[in-house]
């Protein structure tokens, strides 16, 4: 519930100058949320748009005080002054910053979006270059993850697919660049055309099925006898990203042989033992849409293995994916999966119980689970959990 006096307090906090920047950050985030959830109460208020613009101008790209976020959300809620202030700030911003924020407004043309992608995309993939006496690797600092929330214009889809699929298997590219390329391919799966999806799936499968190759220059230096230790990416991070991306493509694959190949290769990975791979696969399972009993059995087996992982983050991601599948009515739980989630509900780790509470609330709401006394009892215990992170997932269940 939102009170008028609370909003006035948030605005007053934003206007204050004698506080540390973290206070402004949380005040701006609160105002941003109000703009999303209660835009009707903002109409009669004296919104701090000038103050927000002043704070945002100090670092529009990173927005550490979240002032630009608040300005944009106020603009989306109908404030013309906030929109004017935001547009004025973006006039002098670099291309990536300007297009990113204008894409949210939305206030960017498809031609401008396509032009920006053509300009920036090649710079996201660095490669080893031979120099006299050895090799050189320059790092641009720009990642292909800038495409995460952008809708790909038709005119650049082929270029994006070609650049990213070449990157994921290129031994001369830094491992973080290959990882990012795989992640973005998965995120854009639905936006690609059929031929581009086929190209992407084949490249991602190559990462899983062929011997992993990487130039010595891009590998991490982690020799315990050396005084120089560097972590510039790990092989397992690229494999994890490729596996997660393949699961996002899975429901879009019509060819039964290719579908079978995907689940076979993903199933061979040591997902419950290797944390990055397990976490990525567990998250990817939430997007799975099975077509037959064989695929559904495979999905159940994967969920059970991941819910039993000795890595907490893998267990928790698997529980959240189970909840998402049940909530979408694309998958029905069984006694073994419920038992695994109930075991998490009794864990001493807060994040385990939080994930279990989220999953159990969805299981209880699904058809066939309404009268399950075991689930009801577990929900009752979680409702009294010492942690609010756990309680808020079950507080509204009758």
Q: What is the per-residue pLDDT across 19-35, written as a single tens digit (0 to 9) for each?
A: 888 889 999 999 999 88
* pLDDT at res. 92: 87
Residue 221 lies in a domain: no
Residue 8 lies in a domain: yes
Lowest average pLDDT, out of 4-18, 79-93, 148-162, 282-296, goes to 4-18
**Rounded-to-5 percentages of helix, strand, coil across the chain:** 65, 5, 35
CA 174-178-183 angle, to 5 degrees, is: 145
* pLDDT at res. 225: 59
Q: State the average pLDDT over residues 115-128.
A: 93
CA distance 97 to 270: 39
pLDDT in tens, 302-353: 999 999 999 999 999 999 999 999 998 888 888 899 999 999 999 999 999 9
CB of 289 closer than 8 Å to CB of 250: yes
Q: Which domain, by its residues, includes 90?
A: 4-108
Question: 207, 211, 236, 219: which is closest to 137 by C-alpha?
Answer: 219
* pLDDT at res. 369: 44
Residue 372 lies in a domain: no
Greater confidence, 336 or 62?
336
Greater confidence, 45 or 328?
328
* pLDDT at res. 179: 96
* pLDDT at res. 142: 86
| Residue 272 tokens, joined | 């419950």
Question: 106, 71, 105, 108: which is closest to 86 by C-alpha?
Answer: 71
Measured between alpha carbons, how far apart are the two ends of the chain, in Å?
A: 20
Question: Please, what's the b/e burial string for 303-327 (b: 16 or more CB within 10 A of its CB; e: otherwise)?
Answer: bbbbbebebebbbbbbbbbbbbbbb
Residue 75 lies in a domain: yes
pLDDT at 146 over 90: yes
Give me the number of domains the chain comprises. Answer: 1
What band does 36 get if pLDDT is binned at 50, 70 and 90? confident
CA distance 15 to 320: 39
Residue 214 lies in a domain: no
Backbone angles phi, psi at 134, to 5 degrees: 165, -140
Residue 94 lies in a domain: yes
* pLDDT at res. 343: 95
340: exposed, middle or buried (Cβ count in 10 Å: 0-12, 13-18, 19+): buried
pLDDT at 269 over 90: yes
Q: State the average pLDDT over residues 293-301.
A: 95
Lowest average pLDDT, out of 197-206, 212-221, 238-247, 287-296, goes to 212-221
* pLDDT at res. 281: 97
| Residue 27 tokens, joined | 């005040």
Residue 38 lies in a domain: yes
* pLDDT at res. 223: 59
* pLDDT at res. 272: 85
Greater confidence, 219 or 295?
295
CA distance 114 to 236: 32
pLDDT in tens, 354-367: 999 999 999 888 75
Residue 363 lies in a domain: no
* pLDDT at res. 233: 80
Conformational region of residue 78, where left means phi above 0, alpha means psi within -120 to 50, and beta covers everything else: left
Greater confidence, 197 or 130?
197
pLDDT in tens, 176-228: 999 999 999 999 999 999 999 999 999 999 999 999 999 888 887 665 555 55
CA distance 91 to 355: 43
Q: What is the mean pLDDT of the chain?
A: 89
């Amino acid at each position: 519930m939102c009170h008028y006096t609370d909003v006035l307090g948030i605005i007053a906090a934003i206007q204050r100058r004698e506080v540390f920047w973290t206070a402004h950050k949380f005040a701006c985030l609160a105002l941003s949320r109000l703009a999303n959830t209660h835009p009707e109460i903002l109409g009669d208020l004296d919104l701090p748009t000038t103050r927000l613009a002043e704070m945002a101008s100090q670092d529009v790209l990173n927005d550490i005080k979240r002032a630009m976020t608040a300005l944009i959300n106020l603009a989306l809620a109908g404030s013309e002054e906030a929109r004017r202030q935001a547009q004025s700030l973006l006039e002098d911003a670099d291309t990536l910053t300007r297009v990113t924020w204008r894409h949210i407004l939305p206030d960017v043309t498809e031609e401008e979006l396509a032009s920006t992608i053509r300009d920036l995309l090649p710079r996201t993939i660095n490669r080893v270059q031979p120099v006299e006496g050895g090799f050189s690797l320059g790092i641009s600092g720009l990642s292909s993850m800038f495409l995460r929330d952008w809708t790909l214009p038709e005119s650049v889809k082929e270029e994006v697919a070609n650049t990213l699929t070449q990157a994921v298997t290129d031994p001369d590219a830094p491992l973080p660049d290959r990882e990012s390329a795989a992640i973005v391919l998965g995120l854009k799966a639905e936006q690609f055309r059929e031929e581009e999806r086929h190209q992407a799936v084949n490249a991602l499968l190559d990462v899983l099925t062929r011997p992993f190759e990487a130039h010595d220059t891009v590998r991490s230096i982690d020799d315990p006898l050396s005084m120089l230790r560097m972590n510039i990416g790990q092989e397992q991070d690229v494999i994890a990203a490729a596996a997660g991306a393949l699961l996002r493509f899975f429901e879009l694959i019509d060819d039964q042989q290719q579908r079978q190949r995907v689940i076979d290769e993903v199933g061979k990975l040591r997902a419950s033992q290797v944390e990055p791979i397990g976490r990525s696969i567990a998250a990817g399972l939430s997007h799975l849409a099975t077509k037959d009993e064989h695929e559904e059995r495979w999905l159940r087996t994967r969920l059970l293995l991941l819910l039993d992982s000795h890595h907490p983050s893998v267990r928790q991601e698997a529980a959240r994916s189970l909840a998402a599948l049940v909530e979408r009515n694309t998958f029905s739980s069984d006694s073994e999966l419920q038992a695994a989630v109930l075991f998490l509900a009794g864990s001493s780790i807060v994040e385990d119980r939080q994930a279990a509470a989220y999953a159990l609330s969805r299981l209880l709401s699904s058809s066939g689970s309404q009268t399950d006394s075991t689930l009801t009892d577990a929900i009752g215990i979680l409702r009294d959990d010492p942690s609010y992170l756990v309680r808020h997932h079950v507080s509204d269940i009758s």
